[in-house]
């Protein structure tokens, strides 16, 4: 039986400042050719105050945790029985290079299916800018297989 008391569990808030060089590298690595993501002059000409952060870059922020599986370890979930079930991104406001961001991580749901053979855990990362405005909510759903 799944332990629903994990719902609401959170981790310390992390702060990060996306750097221009990292954003340029990310844009190149992902094949992004729009110059607003790599050329400050092009970004400003397009009306942005700085290089905008490519939307999928926010997903990479979870790699800044002490380990890739920090939340799995904390919940005691067996890595060898885990499958990735779903990923979603809800973008609310633009994020720019040099802007201080905070990342709040918590478990937003936990439920089971198939009589407990499958346990689902939903981790939510809320990213806010320095004004406290929500910029994005990233959700990851993992399944633990039993039996």
Reduced to 3 states, what is the DSSP secondary structure of residue 106? strand
Q: Which residue has the tokens 């720019």?
A: 96
State pLDDT tens for residues 49-103. 999 998 789 888 766 655 556 777 778 888 889 999 999 999 999 999 999 999 9
Radius of gyration of the chain (CA): 18
Please state the pTM of the whole predicted model: 0.85
- The residue among 58 and 46 whose pLDDT is bigger is 46
Q: Give pLDDT, residue 69.
A: 63
Structure tokens at 117: 């053979």
- Measured in residues, the chain has a length of 147
Other CB atoms within 10 Å distance of the CB of residue 6 = 17
Q: Give pLDDT, residue 68.
A: 55
Give percent of the chain with pLDDT exceeding 90.
74
Which strands sit side by side in the sheet containing 82-91, from one edge to the other? 14-16, 101-113, 118-128, 134-145, 82-91
> CA-CA distance, 103 to 63, in Å (whole number)?
12
User: What domains does the chain contain, in order, with CATH numbers?
Assistant: 4-145 (3.10.129.10)
């Amino acid at each position: 039986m799944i332990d629903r008391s994990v719902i609401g569990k959170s981790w310390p808030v992390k702060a990060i400042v996306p750097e221009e060089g990292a954003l340029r590298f990310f844009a190149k690595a992902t094949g992004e050719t729009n110059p607003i993501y790599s050329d400050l002059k092009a970004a400003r000409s397009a009306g942005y105050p700085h290089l905008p952060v490519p939307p999928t870059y926010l997903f990479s922020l979870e790699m800044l945790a002490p380990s890739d599986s920090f939340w799995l370890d904390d919940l005691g979930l067996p890595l060898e029985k885990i499958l990735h079930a779903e990923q979603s991104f809800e973008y609310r406001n633009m994020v720019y290079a040099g802007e201080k961001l905070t990342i709040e991580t918590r478990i937003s749901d936990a439920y089971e299916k198939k009589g407990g053979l499958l346990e689902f855990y939903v981790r939510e990362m809320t990213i806010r800018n320095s004004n406290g405005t929500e910029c994005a909510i990233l959700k990851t759903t993992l399944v633990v297989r039993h039996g």
